[in-house]
Amino acid sequence: MDNEPGSESAKRIADVSWTEGAQQQVVSDPARIRALAHPVRLELLDYLDDEGQATATECAEAIDESVASCSYHLRMLAKHGYIEQVGQQGREKPWKVVSHNRSQVIDRDAPGAAHALSAMAGVQVHRQLDRIQSWLQRAPQLPIDGIDVSTISGSSFYATYDEIRQFREDLWQLSRRFDGRWQHPELRPDGSFPVQLFSVMNVDPDRRPGHSHGEEA
């Protein structure tokens, strides 16, 4: 489950790995994944992704939380390797993310791995649903061109695990064409707008798997 999807070419370092070239943080340790199952921590990561670096006081003002709460959750994010403090002079040192590209993958040998991923993903889904509902409520007052290019779509199909993995990779590669623009304004072309993309693809547990030709259903 990704900020951006993981890659099979990741170099393993304990339970954290880094993909070739992209400096993508891939986490498989259930404890570190479960550390993200909190809306304030995800909100802090989003804010630091946007701002580059910020102190606990600045974070608190931005996400409407207390400084004490932000300080605690920032320390927890640092403990689990997602952010680090910037070593600059000053009474309160700012924080920055270790990587703007983060993925969480399941470790099949680690107890509780599936539960950790489900907990983290559940919080993320709720956050995204709130965002989408807010956008839909405001849509009648937004510029018509922005509504015209937006989309809500769904699809159902049968595919093998290998085909699903390839499709996931293809989706990721499509979004890679815009790499860097979110963090670097100078890369944004004139007339570009901030865009949010949220997708969920899962094997349907309530339908029977497909069968080979000649095999009884």
197 in a structural domain? no
Return the pLDDT at 15.
52
Domain count, the chain: 1
62 in a structural domain? yes
Range of the domain at 49: 11-142
Return the pLDDT at 13.
36
166 in a structural domain? no
31 in a structural domain? yes
Find the Cα–Cα–Cα–Cα dihedral 142, 144, 155, 181, rounded to 10°.
-70
Point out the residues of the chain with pLDDT beneath 70. Answer: 1-22, 88-90, 212-217
Return the pLDDT at 5.
38
pLDDT tens string 46-72: 999 999 999 999 999 999 999 999 999
51 in a structural domain? yes
Task: Write the CATH number for 53.
Answer: 1.10.10.10
152 in a structural domain? no
Return the pLDDT at 87.
79
129 in a structural domain? yes
Return the pLDDT at 154.
94
195 in a structural domain? no
